[in-house]
Amino acid sequence: MKLKVDKNADALYLRLDESKIIDSEEVSPGIIVDFNDQNEIVGIEILRLSHRSSKVNFQELQFQTM
């Protein structure tokens, strides 16, 4: 799993695996989901990240598992 934050594009991309992306769908304004050939979700992109929350801190990302 990879997480990429692009400050210039104001976007966050979460890649779940390295499957080839076959299709993408904007499921909500600025939220794009990528699918592989088995229709599994392999990536999620969030655009206009800083407009979605005033508390977005691009310098501090945390990863938590339970």
Cβ-contact 39, 54 below 8 angstroms? no
Residue-number span of the structural domain to which 38 is assigned: 2-50
How do the pLDDT tens digits run along the chain, 66 residues long? 899 988 899 999 999 999 999 999 999 999 999 999 999 999 999 999 888 877 777 677 767 677
Q: Is residue 62 part of a domain?
A: no
Please classify residue 34 by burial: count the beta carbons closer than 10 Å to its beta carbon, then call 0-12 exposed, 13-18 middle and 19+ buried: buried
Question: Tokens 């310098």 belong to which residue?
Answer: 59
Q: What domain count does the chain have?
A: 1
Q: Is residue 16 part of a domain?
A: yes
Q: Is residue 18 part of a domain?
A: yes
pLDDT for position 58: 67
pLDDT for position 57: 73
Q: Is residue 42 part of a domain?
A: yes
pLDDT for position 60: 74
Q: Is residue 22 part of a domain?
A: yes
Q: Is residue 38 part of a domain?
A: yes
